[in-house]
A and B are shown apart, each in its own frame.
Chain A
Amino acid sequence: MSILEQLRAGVITTSAEAMQALAVELALVLPDDTTLALHGDLGVGKTTFVQGLARGLGITEPVTSPTFTLYTLHRGPRHLLAHLDAYRLTDAAQLDALMLDDFLISPYCLAIEWPENIAARLPSNALHLDLGITADGRHPIRLR
């Protein structure tokens, strides 16, 4: 099964490493200029997943939560990884103040945490991933 098929069927990861390994695999097959919407509550592992994406794109610098400045940009050997945290955004129009379009240079991968906050501005071909956490600490991941 391809990674996309696996994710559509749903995968349950039991460690941060396993989640990142999954993200690495996904990063390798993503078309250029993909927007990846990462749905899930506080603590489900969204930033951990983006760290895996970064590794898959060959980015070596540390990827941390961008909550404060709302997004960070990481330059890989070929791709730009933009990591947007829409946690504090309440309206899609607020995106304009981030001037993100001015910094998104193709080929890029745009990973968005709390995408539901800016649902109106997500491209129609965005990939939506649901991340969760079970009572015993396992992380289910599924591609919509």
Chain B
Amino acid sequence: MRPADRWRQVRDLFERALEQEPADIAAWLDREGVVDRQIRSELLSLLDHHKSAGSFLVEPAADRLPDLMADDRPLEPGQIVGPYSIVREIGRGGMGRVYLATDRRLGRLVALKALAPELTVDPSYRDRLRREARADAALTHPGICTIYALEEIDGDLFIAAEFVDGRTLREEIGGDRRPAAADVVRTARDLADALAHAHSHGITHRDLKPENVMRTKDGRLKILDFGLARIDTAAGATADPLAVHLATGSRPRESIEGHVTQPGAIIGTPAYMAPEQLNGQRADARADVFAFGVLLYEFASGTHPFDAPTPLALVARILESETTPIDRWRPDLPSSLVDVIDRCLRKLPAGRFASAGDIVHALDRIDPARAFGRVATWWRTHQLAVIALYFVACALTWQIKEWRPGITTAIFVATGIAATVSGVFRGHLLFTERVTGTGLAAERRRATTVTLVFDLLVALALAADGAILISLRPLAAVLTIALGVGIALARLVVEPATTAATFRQ
């Protein structure tokens, strides 16, 4: 018998057996006159498996495969999507793939984010996405990646945003070198500034993490994906923390990138979520403040403040454990920055800064003496050296007045006054920088003109004295003129350089 014939016979017997449901299969087969032993055993085996198959294949595949379809189909380089031409894929972010694309209407490069179709099929969800994109597009700040447009092309949604060329803070944290204290302070300031701008417009980020912050090639920070993260959860459905860690538990690599399979359930890293977010409570700007604290801690130390071997343990640590104080890792950080980070990481939202604006204020009070370390030493040395030169100048003009009385007396008096005024201002700057630490920038601005005018006056006086003295005592005259030139150059060339290096103007 051919296998196909045997199969047909088995099939027919199987069907009849199901129909008639005989109590004794062997007896039934005898009655049917089936003698072929192969067919009999095949039928018995199939009926046996039919009984034990349970729900096998009963539910359709797409119902049973939770995330097999979650990935969208990648766009190919050169592909045309509406007005955009795809250049290449540059990443996979929170809501789908991100491409570098050219906007052919304007000829500019954009970052084109293709929203995963499963996120956008629900019309009400689409509507909310539109509203959010509109609100976020209103944010214009150098520290925030600008949203250009929300495009609906052939039923798919795309967000066109500013293309930021650079690297993420995640890459910087992953590097071997830890940033200098001054860089940490600067990063904190820039980030807080951008975040404060959004908070003042009532927009929170909700997914602030090193992957979402980029540093451009010229050193500016840009926060990406502003406000879009919130859309994932805003449907009233708060993220279920259990879903979060279960999802990340099996796929640690993806958890770093974070991705969303369904609205209402963030499948992403819980590592930057505030305790209240993990508890499924409503999160506001203070959740961003918490994430800011975690991010800065990690940026400064290279270590996550709640580092744990598994996502579940990490969540537990965020909810319950206190962190190792950041100054244990980085004793060189200014104490006020340490305090800021510490306050951002409080478990209770009420214990944190109310918004990023308050962080900006707190950072303004940073004690520069500790913040700026060795560069500041140069700036201070410069101030002290110039003050010392004023004394030399006064002594010199007095001596010249003794040698050659006359107009030199007036020069001595002018030098004395100019040196005193300039000296007092420089002393005041040193005091402000070392002791109070607040308003240094304003004081420096005020002092700039004063020191410029009076330093040049001292230099001019010395030059005049030198000219008068040149026939009487040539060596002393040359030294006097040299001192004047030195003071002028110090003010015009050296001081701007040390100041810029110290205060990053």
Q: Do A and B bind each other?
A: no
A residues whose Cβ falls under 8 Å from a Cβ of B:
none
B residues whose Cβ falls under 8 Å from a Cβ of A:
none
